[in-house]
Amino acid sequence: MGLIRQIKEEYQVIKERDPAIHSPLEVFLYPSFQVMLKYRRAHRLYEHGHYFLARWISQRAAHKTGIEIHPGAQIGKGFFIDHGHGVIIGETTIIGDNVTLYQGVTLGGTGKEQGKRHPTIGNNVMISAGAKVLGSFKIGDNSKIGAGSVVLSEVPTNSTVVGVPGRVVKRNNITCLPQEDMDQVHLPDPVKEDIAVLEHANSELTNRLLDMEQEMKQMRREMEQLEKGKNE
C-alpha cells in the first residue's frame, strides 16, 4: 500500500471515529497513525525472520507513542487507537477489521499458555479505556468491552461486556457496528442490577416478616380472648 493511500485511509478511519480531527494533515500527529506505520514495517521484517530488527523498530515506536505493538501481532484494516497511551498488544494477538481501542487497553496473555497466548479480536469490535483482555480466546464480531473491564473468557458475537471479571450483560441478533455508536458511558451496570435485585428481595422479606408479626399479634389477642372467656 502506498503512503498517500494509507494516509487517506487513516484519515477516513480517524474522521469517522474521532470528532477532534479537522484536516488530513492532523493524521500525522496521531500516535495511532505513527505507530501503525512502524508496525507495518516491523511486521514485514518479523514475517521474514528479522526478529531483532523488528523488535527494535517496535520498541522505538513504543517509546515515542506510548503504544506497544509486538511485530508478530496480526492486525486487519480500519484499525484505530484513540489517544492510545498505555496500549499493549501481544505477539500472538489477531485483530480483525474496523477495530477500535482506547487508551490503556491490554491485549495480553495470562503467562500460562504456550503457542497462541493472546486474544483474537473479531471485526467491528470496540474495547474501551483501561480494559484488559487476557488469554487465548476470541472476542466475537460487533462486540463492545466496557471501560475498565477484565475479560478472561470468550465473548459471543454482538455482545456487551462489563465488569471485573467481565461478563456479558447484553446480547442480541442485531448487528450494530460499534464505531457508529461509540458510547462508552451508557452501558449496563451488572453490579447495580444485582444490588437492585437484592434490595427488592430484602424489601419483600421485610414485608413478609412484618405480615407474620401482625399475624402473631392477632393470634395472641385471640388466645387471650379465649382464655378470658374460659375464666369467666
Residues 126-149: tens digit of each pLDDT: 999 999 999 999 999 999 998 889
Helix (H, G, I), strand (E, B) or coil at 20: coil
Parallel, antiparallel or unpaired: strands 159-162 and 167-171: antiparallel
Q: CB of 95 within 8 A of CB of 121?
A: yes
pLDDT at 25: 78
- Spatial CA neighbour of 184 closest among 168, 161, 166, 164: 161
pLDDT at 182: 47
Residue 119 confidence (pLDDT) above 90: yes
Residue 19 confidence (pLDDT) above 80: no
What average pLDDT does this structure show over 163-178?
66
User: Among the listed ranges 10-14, 76-80, 204-208, which one has the minimum average pLDDT value?
Assistant: 10-14
List of residues 6+ apart from 66 with CB closer than 8 A: 31, 84, 85, 86, 87
CA distance 131 to 197: 27
pLDDT at 169: 80
pLDDT at 189: 62
CA distance 102 to 182: 11
